[in-house]
Amino acid sequence: MKIIVPATSANLGAGFDSIGIAVSLYLTVEVLEESSDWKIDHDLGENIPTDERNLLLTTLSAVLEDKNVALPAKYHLKMTSEVPLARGLGSSSSVIIAGIELANQLAKLNLTSDEKLKLACEIEGHPDNVAPALLGNLVIASTVAGKTSHIVADFPSCALLAFVPDYELKTVESRQVLPNELTYKEAVAASSIANVLTASLLTNNLEVAGQMMEADRFHESYRASLIPELQLLREIGHEFGAYGTYLSGAGPTVMLLVPDNKLTLLTEKIMEKNLTGHLYPLKIDNKGLQVEESVF
């Protein structure tokens, strides 16, 4: 059995903790054979556990406990990932979705998508990454008082260009620079920008969407000092035709929404700056979680 989960890019500027997209980088988990103990083969680095401490298996255990079921066997697993760790592309969320589906398959739970999303939000805390990882495409979601409401929609047609710096930025560190509260006036302004962002995405108006992404008042201005590449890439985007540039998740990845015919030009202009990191041309993943060769 093979479980495949896409990477994600959250917030899209003003859609803080509530808007996300699935993108064309993938985590794959394969079930190889029964084993006396849980074991995960991976090449993700020495700091990532290969036993029951791994997020994949702590997620699986949480689901089994929630459903009050036990597995009759343990398994040897293989995990491969194209998703850069701690870079704002939902690496932990993809593992959480994979862990939920692993439990679903091995324990034959027959979970619905809504049940999987509920479990994912309970584990992750908010839906902006886990929802598109599960469902694909563009997802607008809200979790309030333990209840998650969501809308899945097609993302407007465009290319994506992600600049992934070589340094990590943990979400907890990126959240530490955010204010504890906003004034009522500022909250209304930030919310109105997010509303127009949502409407523009749902009506395929990428010009307005790009403007609203860059007008965010919830988080980007506070985090900008942690990611110096954001302002530079935004300026390049303005000069060479990007729709908009935003901080992916908590960063440090910076995402540009680009007309298809401008992708090569923008790639060349960014590469001329010799920034320390990698550029990924990406597409929207419209499938989300996929399971292949299920034999359980």
* The pLDDT of residue 49: 94
Q: Binding residue per annotation — 88?
A: yes
* The pLDDT of residue 296: 46
Tell me the CATH number of domain 159-282, given options 3.40.50.150, 3.40.190.10, 3.40.50.300, 3.30.70.890.
Answer: 3.30.70.890
Q: Binding residue per annotation — 225?
A: no
Q: What is the DSSP letter of 89?
A: S
* The pLDDT of residue 275: 96
The predicted model gives 135-156 an average pLDDT of: 95
d(CA 85, CA 122): 21
Q: Binding residue per annotation — 234?
A: no
* pLDDT tens sequence across 221-253: 999 999 999 999 999 999 999 999 999 998 999
For residue 175, which of 87, 84, 251 has the smallest C-alpha distance?
251
Write down the residue that tokens 């998508």 correspond to. Answer: 113
**Residue 161 pLDDT > 80:** yes
d(CA 121, CA 108): 21
**Residue 17 pLDDT > 90:** yes
Strands, sheet with 244-247, edge to edge from the N-terminal-most edge strand: 244-247, 254-258, 159-165, 277-282
Number of H helices, E strands in the chain: 10, 11
The predicted model gives 261-279 an average pLDDT of: 97
Q: Do 263 and 247 form a contact (C-beta atoms < 8 A)? A: no
**Residue 295 pLDDT > 70:** no
What is the token pair recorded at 230?
């954001």
* The pLDDT of residue 168: 84
Q: What is the pTM of this model?
A: 0.94
The yes or no reply on domain 2-153+285-292 and CATH 3.30.230.10 is yes
Which of the two residues, 227 and 45, has the higher pLDDT score?
227
Neighbours of 176 (CB within 10 A): 10
Average pLDDT, whole number, for the chain? 95
Q: Binding residue per annotation — 84?
A: yes
* The pLDDT of residue 186: 97
Q: Binding residue per annotation — 85?
A: yes
* pLDDT tens sequence across 97-130: 999 999 999 999 999 999 999 999 999 988 999 9
* The pLDDT of residue 294: 55
Pairing label, strands 39-41, 74-81: parallel
Pairing label, strands 74-81, 19-35: antiparallel
* The pLDDT of residue 160: 98
Q: Binding residue per annotation — 249?
A: no
Q: Binding residue per annotation — 24?
A: no
The predicted model gives 75-92 an average pLDDT of: 94
Q: Binding residue per annotation — 135?
A: no
Q: Binding residue per annotation — 224?
A: no
- Per domain, the residue ranges of the chain are 2-153+285-292, 159-282
Residue 220 CB contacts under 8 Å (≥ 6 apart), including other chains = 13, 230, 246, 247
